[in-house]
């Protein structure tokens, strides 16, 4: 049973009011089910609408490079078959284009720390990834180990099953332990809520819990579930967390047509992989982050 404090945070009255306000009054994004995009025009539009952080994968080319854009990109490579050589390329691209961070699996944190030494690019890693089902104790230990090894940002996955079962105290503590570990090292903590598996009500609860434990960002997706970010999800998340918490979208699209549709829809955030192929209008194979 949730504590009275948590019950207040996730009260049904608040959830219903938030949904009503969002869809009836501010719902310019209501009903959008478009994947987040990965092309220059969309990125700039999203930033003008208040983007906090962007995720992108190996192969981002000159077309995307704008100093205001680049510094918001988490240059990402999380596929299980990622090799040290690919991680090296990721770091080289991050240095070249001035991305905010590289986002990699924990085993590559020490390597990236060395490769990015002397640059402004941060090392970001993932915790409890991609399922979020490891125990809270393991998540905290994993975060602390990564931070000791040189990570400056951590993206942790919530326990989705516990959230769906309304075990809000558990989810609150699960997030809080990783946030506390991050704060101990002066690092940023992003909370992945895996929107594709949640109802709108559950998205609101996950965002409110994250906000109340003082996470730095809420993030849409791991990129390894059944769907990625949508413009509607990102808009709802930003509406809920307000200006004190950032929103990061991840889980990108794979065609230029989808990208143009996102621009027309007025998306706020993007997540990306295979950026060069998308901006060139080339086919991109499905799968991965």
Point out the residues that are catalytic.
Answer: 155, 219, 248
101, β-bridge pairs: 74, 122
Angle at which helices 40-48 and 256-265 cross, to 10°: 20
| Cβ atoms within 10 Å of 107's Cβ, excluding its own | 13
Report the relative pairing of strands 246-249 and 153-157 from DSSP bridges.
unpaired
CA end-to-end span of the chain, whole Å?
35
Measure the CA–CA gap between 60 and 95, rounded to whole angstroms: 12
Structure tokens at 34: 């478009």
How much of the chain is helix, strand and coil, in % rounded to 5?
50, 15, 35
Residue pair 208/172 in contact by the 8 Å Cβ criterion: no
Structure tokens at 135: 């125990």
Residue pair 249/236 in contact by the 8 Å Cβ criterion: no
39: left (phi over 0), alpha (psi -120 to 50) or beta: beta
Measure the CA–CA gap between 168 and 173, rounded to whole angstroms: 8
Measure the CA–CA gap between 216 and 247, rounded to whole angstroms: 9
Measure the CA–CA gap between 202 and 59, rounded to whole angstroms: 34
Measure the CA–CA gap between 245 and 227, rounded to whole angstroms: 23
């Amino acid at each position: 049973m949730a504590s009275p404090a948590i019950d207040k945070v996730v009260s049904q009255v608040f959830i219903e009011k938030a949904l009503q306000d969002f869809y009836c009054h501010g719902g310019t994004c209501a009903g959008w089910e478009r994947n987040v995009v990965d092309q220059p025009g969309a990125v700039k539009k999203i930033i003008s609408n208040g983007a906090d952080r962007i995720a992108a994968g190996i192969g981002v080319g000159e077309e995307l490079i704008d100093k205001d854009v680049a510094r918001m990109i988490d240059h990402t490579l999380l596929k299980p078959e990622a090799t040290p050589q690919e991680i090296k390329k990721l770091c080289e691209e991050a240095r070249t284009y001035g991305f905010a961070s590289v986002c990699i699996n924990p085993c590559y944190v020490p390597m990236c720390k060395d490769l990015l030494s002397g640059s402004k690019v941060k090392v970001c890693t993932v915790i409890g990834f991609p399922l979020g089902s490891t125990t809270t104790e393991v998540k905290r230990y994993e975060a602390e180990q990564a931070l000791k090894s040189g990570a400056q940002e951590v993206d942790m996955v919530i326990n989705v099953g516990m959230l769906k079962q309304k075990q809000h105290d558990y989810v609150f503590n699960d997030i809080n332990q990783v946030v506390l570990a991050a704060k101990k090292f002066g690092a940023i903590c992003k909370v992945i809520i895996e929107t594709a598996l949640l109802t709108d009500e559950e998205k609101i609860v996950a965002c409110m819990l994250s906000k109340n434990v003082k996470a730095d960002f809420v993030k849409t997706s791991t990129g390894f579930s059944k769907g990625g970010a949508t413009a509607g999800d990102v808009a709802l998340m930003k509406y809920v967390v307000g200006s004190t918490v950032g929103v990061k979208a991840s889980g990108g699209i794979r065609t230029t047509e989808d990208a143009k549709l996102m621009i027309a829809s007025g998306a706020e955030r993007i997540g990306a992989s295979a950026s060069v192929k998308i901006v060139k209008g080339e086919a991109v194979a499905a799968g991965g982050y």
